[in-house]
Amino acid sequence: MIRDAIERYHSLLNDQVALEAQAALNAHFRARKLYFGSRPICTVLRPHFYFPDQWSYLTRQTEVLLKAFAKAQQAAMLDSKLRQQLALEPYEEELFGIDIGFEAPWTTSRLDSFFDPETRRLRFVEYNAETPAGMGYCDHLSDAFLELHVMKRFQQYYETRSFTAMRSLLATLIEAWKQFGGRYMPQIGIIDWQDVPTLNEHEIIREYFEEHGIKARLADPRELEYRDQAVFAGDFRVDMIYKRVLCSELIQRMGLDNPVVQAVRDRAVMMTNAFSAKLMAKKASFALLSDERNAHLFTEAECIAIETHIPWTRIIEERKTQFHGREVDLLPFIKENQDSLVLKPNDEYGGKGVLIGWETTPEEWAETLQSALVNPYVVQERVDAVYENFPTVINGKLNVSPRLVDADPYVFQGRTVSGCLTRLSSVTLLNVTAGGGSLAPTFIIHKSEGA
């Protein structure tokens, strides 16, 4: 059992070992810029572990669901009535029709879940289909842990394997560039606002690209110019936009007639992910998959995977619908079942605007529900969180205490899983962007022979 491996790791720690490990990690964090803004990205002293069969299960089930998301995406692109279920903005309708020039709108994406590896209980809660973050952090964090003395002692008992998400990222971008018609190595612009707290990771990604022979530059969208059928950041020509800025923020701040949209529309630059990736990035994409109205879009195996791994989700509106086979009047149902439901804005990130029913006053719940009839929200059934004990240093002493753990596999070309973001938190809203929590590196382990 994975619990045995966890207990073995914890048995190798004491106050002194924990302090030494923390000091070593702090040194790595400073050297490798492993900070989210000014906060260290990791506050614990143990990686998150999976056995090979557990990781294979997570991978297989994720890839089945990816087929369902791809079918939903394709159907929505062709059917304006189906797109209405996603509560799109008018500008999104305009952008989604732009020819992207490569196969999958998502070169990279991430499905976020709670996964109990012992029971195989797996429930996804969100599809980060637009601009998934964390790959650079994950790779460097794995390297930092592998150098810890306690980790080397643990490897006497368990063989370990880490992931190389940045390698998969670069390979995927180059593959898409070739599909786009690129005949030379592209110059890549990593585009985001200059004041975001993820700039450290953008720099990690830029350095990786440069180390592998790809010229890259960080740039604020407002720095870009579209001239002579090319995009420039100063004197740097951008052939490919590795788009970290969100589509909604780009349009809200710079309007539709901005250099990025102009150049993408003219096929003068390749942008990944495509604007149309936003379709499945909407929180309502989970409603699209789980709504009984759309079951005909999917195979029997996909329907089973949706029922098993996608929580019941609906866009909030006045209607009757099915709740696990029982007809309900949606708005009264939401009011009466607050303790088992969550409300989420359809187009936000970082946990912004999320309301946890069992942690919210009835007054705030009712107020948000009323607002949701004007500003698109989804309602989602409660998903059981997963907890594990993790060690940390508190006031100079080793402390082992429970953390919520999620499992967020990285997806490449919309179909293949490689690598995983693991986030930890002591509160229900598990999101590092929201201002708390921790990352932990993810390792596949198996018991060493003779151990």
Residues 222-280: tens digit of each pLDDT: 999 999 999 999 999 999 999 889 999 999 999 999 999 999 999 999 999 999 999 99
What was the pLDDT predicted at 164? 95
Burial of 248 (0-12, 13-18, 19+ CB in 10 A): middle
What was the pLDDT predicted at 450? 64
- Quick one: which of 67, 177, 141 has its CA closest to 417? 67
Report helix, strand or coil for 194: coil
pTM above 0.85, yes or no: yes
What was the pLDDT predicted at 428? 54
- Quick one: which of 440, 431, 409, 430 has its CA closest to 111? 409
Report helix, strand or coil for 363: helix
- Write out the H or E segment, with its range, that includes residue 204: helix 199-211
What was the pLDDT predicted at 431? 47
Dump pLDDT digits (tens) for 87-100.
999 999 999 889 88
Q: In residues, how long is the chain?
A: 451
Q: What angle do the packed helices 300-309 and 52-78 form, to 10 degrees?
A: 110
Dump pLDDT digits (tens) for 18-29.
999 999 999 999
Band (397; pLDDT cuts 50, 70, 90): very high
Dump pLDDT digits (tens) for 124-153.
999 999 989 999 999 999 999 999 999 999
Query: Tokens 């804005």 map to which residue?
Result: 345
Residue 172 tokens read as 């995927």
Longest dimension (CA), the chain: 66
Instruction: Provide mean pLDDT across the span 109-114.
Output: 96
Q: What are the phi and psi torsion angles at 47 (to 5°)?
A: -70, 170
Query: Tokens 């003219």 map to which residue?
Result: 266
What was the pLDDT predicted at 97? 84
CB atoms within 10 A of CB 90: 7
Residue 434 pLDDT > 60: no
**Distance (Å) of CA 202 to CA 59, 219, 423, 429:** 26, 10, 19, 25
Bigger pLDDT: 17 vs 431: 17
Residue 435 pLDDT > 60: no
What was the pLDDT predicted at 36? 87
One-letter amino acid for residue 4 of the chain: D
Dump pLDDT digits (tens) for 292-344.
999 999 999 999 999 999 999 999 999 999 999 999 999 999 999 999 999 99
Residue 287 C-beta-side C-alpha neighbours within 13 Å: 26
What was the pLDDT predicted at 433? 42
Dump pLDDT digits (tens) for 35-55.
987 889 999 999 999 999 999
Residue 432 pLDDT > 50: no
**Distance (Å) of CA 296 to CA 77, 93, 283, 288, 314:** 16, 24, 21, 12, 17
Band (198; pLDDT cuts 50, 70, 90): confident
The end-to-end CA distance of the chain, in Å, is: 15
Which residues are within 8 A (CB) of 84 and not within 5 positions of it... i.e. 6 or more apart? none
Contact at 8 Å (CB) between 390 and 437? no
Dump pLDDT digits (tens) for 267-288.
999 999 999 999 999 999 999 9
Band (451; pLDDT cuts 50, 70, 90): low
Dump pLDDT digits (tens) for 360-392.
999 999 999 999 999 999 999 999 999 999 999
For the CA atoms of 74, 76, 80, 83, the dihedral, rounded to the nearest 10 degrees, stands at -160
Q: What are the phi and psi torsion angles at 438 (to 5°)?
A: -150, 155
